[in-house]
Amino acid sequence: MGLFNRKTTAATTATTAPGAGSVTTLEAPAFDTATSAVADITGDYALDVTHTRIGFSARHAMVTTVRGQFNEFEATAHVDTANPAASSAEVRIKAASIDTGNGDRDGHLRSGDFLDVETYSDLVFKTTAVSRKDADTFTVIGDLTIKDVTRPVSIDFDVTGSARDPFGNLRVGFEGSTTISRKDWGLTWNAALETGGVLVSDKIKLEFDVSAIALAAQQA
């Protein structure tokens, strides 16, 4: 289902020492095959924050990619597979929880040059429209608010499986990403490079790896 079915096993051929012929090896799938505990994932869900990643990546100095994530957030969602337009979600992220693995960089991102977390504590996403792209993919359109600036974004989410965990919880997985221009939210700080270009890319990729737990009424 979803992303887990997209990578198939492929054969590759490697040449050994002269006269020894070649060896064919198999490239293994990236992950085990996803499970599907329920045929219809319609229902109300809460995010399992300990098994969910809300991340981002940006180009640094025009030569490499810096990745990070937010460590504190909460979200609820309603999924309606028969009538996707009735689906909805709201995500609230603590701006100060930004984490790129470098204290100095994180401090700069929390400052007035970027997120200004002392003034604007939360980033908020609220859906405005949901449609079904295909059997495993939902297109989610919503308003993203950063520093009191609200603009629409569109994200394609793949359903990556459903499972009943050892504690009896019904879980559903989603993965999605989108690219935004940070200047659209007033995040314009930058520094010019002597060789041309800028220190931080304007384009930011947002990445979502979501584990959602069905609310109690659906668990039976």
What would the DSSP string read from start to end of 53-101? EEEEEEEETTTEEEEEEES-EEEEEEE-SSSGGG-EEEEEEEGGGEE-S
Q: Report the relative pairing of strands 10-15 and 22-27 from DSSP bridges.
A: antiparallel
Residue 4 has pLDDT above 80, yes or no: no
> What confidence tens digit (pLDDT) does each residue in 30-82 have?
667 777 767 789 999 999 999 999 999 998 878 889 999 999 999 999 999 99
**Do 125 and 142 touch, CB atoms closer than 8 A?**
yes
Please tell me the pTM assigned to this model. 0.82
**Distance between CA atoms of residues 185 and 114, nearest Å:** 10
Q: So what's the architecture of 36-218 in CATH?
A: Beta Barrel (2.40)
Strand partners, 68: 56
**Do 181 and 189 touch, CB atoms closer than 8 A?**
no
Residue 7 has pLDDT above 50, yes or no: no
